[in-house]
Chain A
Amino acid sequence: MSRHLEHDWYPAPVPDNVVIGEGSWLYSTYAFVHTFSRRDEAVRIGRDTGVYEFTHFGLGPEGEILIGDFSTIGGAIFCTNGRVEIGDHVLVSYSVVFGGDPFAAPGDEGDGDIFIGDDVWIGTQAVILPGAVIGDGAIIGARTVVDFEVAPGCTVAGNPARVVKSPEGVAARA
């Protein structure tokens, strides 16, 4: 059964291997023009999550995106042939890139995995790359490049990135 979004300007239906949960909002099926994943579930969006304009799911044949509940994807580019998992109550700002490779391109996405916990907040134009395991409640500053583990509750910012705040207090400057 083909599914069209009521408000959509783009004529394509929601692809069969995309699951959108109850109460969630997707701006347009234009988000899937480069979704070439052959998985049964290429994109799974939980309940009450908003996926807004300019978000783009560029997925190679093995690509997989899992987004939890009550999250806001303000306008992210996913370009991967791996797996990106995003938790609940996560805020992702504009022009954030989740890449399977530091030099990701359509058709050459790279296949490293990315994990984002619950209650994470990611600032505008941040770049999230394979190796990123972002703990619950962490904050990623604007334009920060993350390809490493971020402990729960920490704030990382800058390029090269550093921990500017941890749950125990403000980190000493390196």
Chain B
Amino acid sequence: MSDAIRTHDSLPPGVQLGEGAQLDCADQTFKRFFSRRRPGLVLGPRVVVHTWTAFSVEPDAVLEVGEESVLVGAQFMCGERITVGRRVLISYNCIIADSDFHPHETMSRREDTIAISPQGDPATRPPLETRPVVIGDDVRIGVGSMILKGVRLGRGVVVEPGSVVTRSIPAGLRVAGNPARVVREP
């Protein structure tokens, strides 16, 4: 293990760290961690979190990562619940989001733009539509991929680099492209 990886000694409340879990924190890692749940973030035993990872977690949301998973550069955008299994690898520049974070309906979205404007009141934002994301054990997610709301990746799914995954994928399959489609094993 590189000596650049260190365990953070002042984690925000609500972060539960398993035995031997290691975080290489940067300024942005918990900058948008707002969960009031206890715990709001669970990192299982021996999980490794590298410096490019960010946990953006809304007040009522929960993010769980199973043991021995390696998070290299995932930006988690969690409005409700994201569950990552065991021995999962997520490479650089990935986004895992369980919401689109703005309403699809035009007039609601207009309300949202007013609520989040510099002089607006974020408390007046319309409710978020969320759909939990579940990433199964032994999934591997390649460089620069996105996993979007409501997606369940079955055990051992391989997401090729640069994929945008918008639908659930059964166990053992390989997907690629934008939008991601199942590809045959080479």
Name the B residues within 8 Å of A36 (CB-CB): 2
Say how far B97's CB is from chain A's closest CB, in angstroms. Answer: 16
Name the B residues within 8 Å of A127 (CB-CB): 93, 142-144, 161-162
Name the B residues within 8 Å of A26 (CB-CB): none
- Cα(A103)–Cα(B139), bound, Å: 11
Partner of B161, one of A105, A107, A145, A158: A145
Q: Does any Cβ of B come within 8 Å of A144's Cβ?
A: yes
Interface of B is mostly: loop
CB <8 Å contact, B2 and A107: yes
- Indicate the size class of the contact surface on chain B: 20 to 34
Name the A residues within 8 Å of B178 (CB-CB): 143, 158-159
**Partner-binding segment picked from A15-23, A64-72, A94-102, A113-121:** A94-102
CB <8 Å contact, A95 and B143: no
CB <8 Å contact, B162 and A77: no
CB <8 Å contact, A129 and B161: yes
Q: When each residue 28-41 of chain A gets 1 if its CB lies under 8 Å from chain B and 0 otherwise, what string results?
A: 00000110100000
Name the B residues within 8 Å of A102 (CB-CB): 91, 142-143, 160-161
- Cα(A170)–Cα(B72), bound, Å: 38
CB <8 Å contact, B176 and A97: no
Name the B residues within 8 Å of A125 (CB-CB): 93, 144
- Cα(A77)–Cα(B93), bound, Å: 9
Known: A77-B92, A95-B93. A103 touches B162 (CB 8 A): no
Name the A residues within 8 Å of B160 (CB-CB): 102, 145
Say how far B87's CB is from chain A's closest CB, in angstroms. Answer: 13
Say how far B49's CB is from chain A's closest CB, in angstroms. Answer: 11
Most buried by B among A97, A102, A144: A102
CB <8 Å contact, B143 and A103: yes
Q: Does any Cβ of A come within 8 Å of B149's Cβ?
A: no
Partner of B72, one of A33, A105, A129, A143: A105
Most buried by A among B70, B72, B140, B164: B72
Q: What are 23 A-B interface contacts by the 8 Å CB criterion?
A: A36-B2, A77-B52, A77-B73, A95-B93, A99-B91, A99-B92, A102-B142, A102-B143, A102-B161, A103-B91, A103-B140, A103-B142, A103-B143, A104-B72, A106-B2, A106-B72, A107-B2, A125-B144, A127-B142, A143-B144, A159-B164, A159-B176, A160-B176
What residues of chain B have their CB less than 8 Å away from a CB belonging to chain A?
1-2, 4, 50, 52, 70, 72-73, 89, 91-93, 140-144, 160-164, 176-178
What residues of chain A have their CB less than 8 Å away from a CB belonging to chain B?
33-34, 36, 77, 79, 95, 97, 99, 102-107, 125, 127, 129, 143-145, 158-160
